[in-house]
């Protein structure tokens, strides 16, 4: 694959999008979200329209990659797997613009794709190949989708751009109607939802502040500390209210899940703290008065966690680098509560992270439960009698959720399931179903989260 140009200055959204997609496709490549953030940080002068187009192109191509590849495979004279990787990415970018973006003229997309191949010093024959494939697409020569009668899983896989193995699993578990509804929901753009920092302000006060910054904000339906944003005219992270630590982006489901932990629980252990979304919320819920040990293994996330805590004013949190699947740097029975935000298949947040659809393989699913169980065992050992353990994932896979918790409870008679819907706002209590599973998958315009609260006997 060709090298990225030495300098990005003055380069447009299409070229930058190709850089990001190429970098993400390499072995051990970083997720596109990280590459996007890094590119935008290096491009502070990129016009707002170009920034928006860059985000649209990168996320759009990943969201519809499987469907784009189906159409391209029907029109190309060569199998896609035999193409130069950069040629395939150029084709995907142009096909997305032709098929999905009304504001981009088809002729311009074809011309840009050929020019990009030349700029990347690809062999001249590729330019003609790209031009021939895309001209057919631009002319409306669209191959028909697979017939549902011939195979529902394959047809839905192509139509909604999800891997066929995943569609088959969901069809077996949920049936055609719910599966198709989930596939469609995963392809819709999620709302811009933020959580208010109640250590510094209140929701209605922040609504007024947003109005002064030219942003429309309205309260969420379920979370009392959530707001939906619209009408943004500038990058949101450049707003003074963000820099002052008055809010952060967080889906309503992620906001609600932290509320399942009873307040005033004393010393709290958080495993898998990540970048601090739930950590900061836990600090708020405890009034920033209780010690929180926030453990995270990855150094980059730990740096972001420290930055989030500083901006948020969450002084009661102590970040620690540790592998929560191994022996923790703690004595047994010393913590009053624990929150395990377990690493998971993340199939409940595909609408926010569409790249998962092509990065995750079916065989990967078996790798999550052993690590989740190890982290659960470590959190359980750290708890005192009478302590609370909140287990969280962002997937709907039973092996990572209900089955894992039931297996743990079967081996640990000192724990019981005690998820209390009364801890949630009244409008959200229906999300806790017997015998005590909090689940938001398919429950309105929410990310798909699972949670269960376990209580250690006195």
- Domain of residue 228: give its range: 192-249
pLDDT in tens, 158-186: 999 999 999 999 999 999 999 999 999 99
pLDDT in tens, 371-427: 999 999 999 999 999 999 999 999 999 999 999 999 999 999 999 999 999 999 999
CB 421 within 8 A of CB 432: yes
pLDDT in tens, 333-352: 999 999 999 999 999 999 99
Give the active site residues: 394
Residue after which a domain boundary falls, among 204, 234, 249: 249
266: in domain: yes
Same domain, 244 and 261: no
Q: Give the torsion sign (CA, 203, 341, 243, 21).
A: negative
367-393 burial code (b ≥16 CB/10 A, e <16): ebbeebbebbebbbbbbeeebbbbbbb
* Number of domains within the chain: 3
CA atoms within 13 A on the CB side of 231: 10
Segment 50-67 mean pLDDT: 95
Please give the pLDDT value at position 199.
Answer: 95
CATH number at residue 234: 3.30.70.1170
Same domain, 278 and 372: yes
Nearest to 64 by CA among 101, 103, 100: 100
Same domain, 197 and 182: no
38: in domain: no
264 — pLDDT class (breaks 50, 70, 90): low
Residue 329's CB is within 10 A of a number of other CB atoms, namely: 10
Same domain, 229 and 367: no
What percent of the chain stands above pLDDT 70?
Answer: 97
Residue 304's CB is within 10 A of a number of other CB atoms, namely: 14
pTM of the model: 0.93
Indicate the SS3 state at residue 194: strand
DSSP class per residue in 121-142: T--HHHHHHHHHHHHHHHTT-P
């Amino acid at each position: 694959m060709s090298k990225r140009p030495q300098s990005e200055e003055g380069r447009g959204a299409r070229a930058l999008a190709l850089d990001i997609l190429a970098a993400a496709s390499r072995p051990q490549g970083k997720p596109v979200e990280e590459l996007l953030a890094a590119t935008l940080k290096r491009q502070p002068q990129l016009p707002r329209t170009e920034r928006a187009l860059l985000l649209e192109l990168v996320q759009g191509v990943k969201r519809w990659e499987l469907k784009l590849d189906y159409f391209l495979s029907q029109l190309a004279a060569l199998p896609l797997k035999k193409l130069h990787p950069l040629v395939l990415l150029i084709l995907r970018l142009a096909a997305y613009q032709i098929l999905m973006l009304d504001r981009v003229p088809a002729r311009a997309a074809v011309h840009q794709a050929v020019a990009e191949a030349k700029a990347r010093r690809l062999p001249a024959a590729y330019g003609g190949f790209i031009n021939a494939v895309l001209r057919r697409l631009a002319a409306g020569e669209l191959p028909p989708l697979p017939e549902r009668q011939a195979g529902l899983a394959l047809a839905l896989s192509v139509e909604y751009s999800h891997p066929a193995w995943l569609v088959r699993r969901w069809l077996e578990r949920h049936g055609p109607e719910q599966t198709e509804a989930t596939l469609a929901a995963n392809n819709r753009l999620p709302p811009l939802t933020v959580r208010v920092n109640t250590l510094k302000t209140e929701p209605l006060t922040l609504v007024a502040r947003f109005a002064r910054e030219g942003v429309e904000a309205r309260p969420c339906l379920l979370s009392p500390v959530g707001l939906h944003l619209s009408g943004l005219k500038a990058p949101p992270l450049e707003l003074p209210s963000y820099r002052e630590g008055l809010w952060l982006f967080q889906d309503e489901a992620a906001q609600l899940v932290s509320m399942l932990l009873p307040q005033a629980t004393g010393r709290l252990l958080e495993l898998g703290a990540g970048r601090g979304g739930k950590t900061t919320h836990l600090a708020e819920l405890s009034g920033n008065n209780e010690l929180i040990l926030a453990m995270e293994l990855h150094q980059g996330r730990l740096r972001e966690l420290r930055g989030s805590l500083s901006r948020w004013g969450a002084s009661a949190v102590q970040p620690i680098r540790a592998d929560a699947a191994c022996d923790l740097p703690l004595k047994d029975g010393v913590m009053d509560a624990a929150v395990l935000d377990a690493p998971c298949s993340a199939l409940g947040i595909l609408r926010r992270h569409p790249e998962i659809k092509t990065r995750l393989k079916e065989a990967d699913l078996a790798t999550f439960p052993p690590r989740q169980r190890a982290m659960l065992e470590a959190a359980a050992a750290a708890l005192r009698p009478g302590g609370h353990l909140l287990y969280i994932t962002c997937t709907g896979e039973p092996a990572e959720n209900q089955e894992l918790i039931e297996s743990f409870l079967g081996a640990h008679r000192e724990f019981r399931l005690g998820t209390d819907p009364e801890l949630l706002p009244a409008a959200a209590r229906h999300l806790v179903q017997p015998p005590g599973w909090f689940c938001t998958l398919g429950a309105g315009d929410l990310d798909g989260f699972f949670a269960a609260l376990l209580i250690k006997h006195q």
